[in-house]
Amino acid sequence: MDEKVESRAGFVALIGEPNAGKSTLLNQMVGAKVSIVTHKVQTTRARIRGIAIEGNAQIVFVDTPGIFRPRRRLDRSMVAAAWGGAEDADVVCLLIEAHRGLTDGVERILDAMMERGKGRTVALVINKIDRVKAEALLALADKMNAAFPFTRTFMVSAERGHGCDDLRAWLAEQMPAGPWLYPEDQIADLPMRMIAAEMTREKLTLRLHEEIPYQLTVETEAWEERQDGSARVDQVIYVARPGHKGIVLGKGGETIKAVSQAARIELEEFMGRRVHLFLQVRVRENWLDEAERYSEMGLDFRDGDG
């Protein structure tokens, strides 16, 4: 960064319904995979921060969990984390899906934003624009802007990167003047232990589909740096029921082996060195009610109180 140019740094919260494409947009903005992305709804649990550099600005993205109707303690903690991320940010980006438009869920978010978002810089980001025609996009943009006073409207395809450069450039201009918050080469402020756990959980989610929806979590129990430059990583997969353990292991351990291999390969690519990954499956029937598990996910257990 040129020392003569005034530096900027700030936070951008990505909010929206589950599966609106927040994680995909975050990864597109940062230029690396820092947030779990699957076809399943509601896979982001913690407020994952990805860091992008645009000219003299450092933009710290907060990828919040999708905002939805909470039913369980975990759901309530995730929704609290989402609103917390929005309230702490310099700019809020509301992501909606072009082909779904103004859904009941988006209307609920808009209602809440009328209370929480007044006077804030809030951008509307219409994602997945390749799924609808131009006339429908313009009509949706008009409808949304009539419902809430957005500062700007952007139309993007997070998956393909269309429109993302314009959004990133605008966000850089909105960042307050000040020193950068993180080292120039850092792309996420999550500890590697948590990033590694998220990678394994993503592979489990993709492999298991609907069999164990959200009743498992992954924790990195031990991390050992070895003299040859490699790392030994021991992780525990917690499941809520004894029957789930067999599903995660698979016939003859087939599923856990495939998950371990896929997670190890991705972790090695991310870290640029060899990783020895060891997975165990443990049954903890009440893990959804244990404060320690929430801390590992970067959530506040108390936010789940009804």
Task: List, in order of start, the domains of the chain with CATH numbers.
Answer: 8-174 (3.40.50.300), 192-304 (3.30.300.20)
3-class DSSP state of 124 = strand
pLDDT at 69 over 80: no
Return the ∠ at Cα 71 (arms to 66 and 77), rounded to 5°. 55
Average pLDDT over residues 264-277: 86
- Given this model, what pLDDT does residue 129 score? 95
Average pLDDT over residues 124-145: 94
Place of tokens 């003859």: 252
Which has more pLDDT, 73 or 256? 256
Alpha carbon distance 203, 194 (integer Å) = 14
- Given this model, what pLDDT does residue 105 score? 81
> Do 202 and 38 touch, CB atoms closer than 8 A?
yes
Q: How many CB atoms lie within 10 A of CB 169?
A: 12
- Given this model, what pLDDT does residue 87 score? 62
Least confident of 109-123, 228-242, 243-257: 109-123
- Given this model, what pLDDT does residue 208 score? 84
Alpha carbon distance 126, 238 (integer Å) = 36
Give, as one character, the DSSP assignment of residue 183.
-
- Given this model, what pLDDT does residue 41 score? 39
How many helices (H) does the chain have, and how many strands (E)?
9, 9
Least confident of 102-111, 144-153, 211-220: 211-220
Residues 6+ apart with CB under 8 A from 89: 10, 11, 12, 13, 62
Least confident of 100-114, 117-131, 211-225, 288-302: 288-302
Residues 6+ apart with CB under 8 A from 265: none
Average pLDDT over residues 64-75: 51
Alpha carbon distance 226, 43 (integer Å) = 32
Give, as one character, the DSSP assignment of residue 272.
T
- Given this model, what pLDDT does residue 212 score? 59
pTM assigned to the model: 0.60
pLDDT at 244 over 70: yes
The percent of residues in the chain predicted with pLDDT above 70, rounded, is 71
> Do 92 and 114 touch, CB atoms closer than 8 A?
no
Span between the terminal Cα atoms of the chain, in Å: 47
- Given this model, what pLDDT does residue 108 score? 81
Per the prediction, the chain carries an average pLDDT of 79
> Do 148 and 113 touch, CB atoms closer than 8 A?
yes
- Given this model, what pLDDT does residue 102 score? 87
Alpha carbon distance 95, 39 (integer Å) = 17
- Given this model, what pLDDT does residue 43 score? 43
The values of phi and psi at residue 3, to 5°, are -65, -25
Which has more pLDDT, 5 or 83? 5
pLDDT at 224 over 90: no
